[in-house]
Amino acid sequence: MRDKLDRYFGTLAEVLRRTEVTDRMAKNLPLEEGCEWLRAAAHDAHDAGNKIIFVGNGGSSGIASHLAIDFSKNGGLRALAFNDAAALTCLGNDLGYESVFAKQLDFHARPGDLLVAISSSGRSPNILEAVKVAHGRDCKIATFSGFTAQNELRRTGDVNFYIGAQEYGFVEVAHLALCHAVLDIDMGWA
């Protein structure tokens, strides 16, 4: 078991080191530049009276909730996650599941907000629709995806973080670790 754990954690570390970051034009960026963009965009949104909006499905929804509270409570930045059960079931029932985040953005997003869109596969229709609405509202957009390098989400944000792994665990933990690194370093971690 110890050998398997060592290999698992070694693989996770390697997956994080190989994170690919691109801009809207698919130009490769250094990881530190992408992380600095996210840190600055979060502060810019907050300082202008706007908010950081996190969206994700399944495990990524849990990550969205986790990050929204940490960016708010620990980081002092206005942040929320659009994953209220009543909103998701109402909008899913009335408009279709692909619209559950897009409609909430339609209700609440304004120019200068920051959307953080998280999808392990990068193919979730409701995340892709949310990004379209955010573009239309002049929001800044950061995406987090994984699995295949050609996933659609990876081409939609101002900054796109891609994890080149096929396992949900590696992709999800890497997404959470990257966002926490941005927040923790911003808060003064050595």
CATH number of 2-186: 3.40.50.10490
Mean pLDDT of 28-45: 98
pLDDT digits (tens, 9 = 90+) for 163-176: 999 999 999 999 99
Q: The tokens of 42 are what?
A: 């979060």
Query: What is the band of 161 on the pLDDT scale with cuts at 50, 70, 90?
Result: very high
Is the pLDDT assigned to residue 28 strictly greater than 80?
yes
129: nearest Cα among 152, 162, 163, 160: 152
Query: What is the band of 190 on the pLDDT scale with cuts at 50, 70, 90?
Result: confident
Is the pLDDT assigned to residue 74 strictly greater than 90?
yes
pTM over 0.75: yes
Q: What is the mean pLDDT of the chain?
A: 97
- Virtual CA dihedral for 181, 80, 173, 91, nearest 10 degrees? -160
Mean pLDDT of 111-135: 98
Residue 117 has a pLDDT of 98
Q: At what angle do helices 2-17 and 168-186 cross, to 10 degrees?
A: 60
Is the pLDDT assigned to residue 18 strictly greater than 90?
yes
Alpha helix stretches (DSSP H) within 48-124: 58-73, 85-95, 100-108
Residue 99 has a pLDDT of 98
Mean pLDDT of 130-159: 97
Mean pLDDT of 109-138: 98
Residue 142 has a pLDDT of 98
Amino acid, single-letter form, for residue 84? D
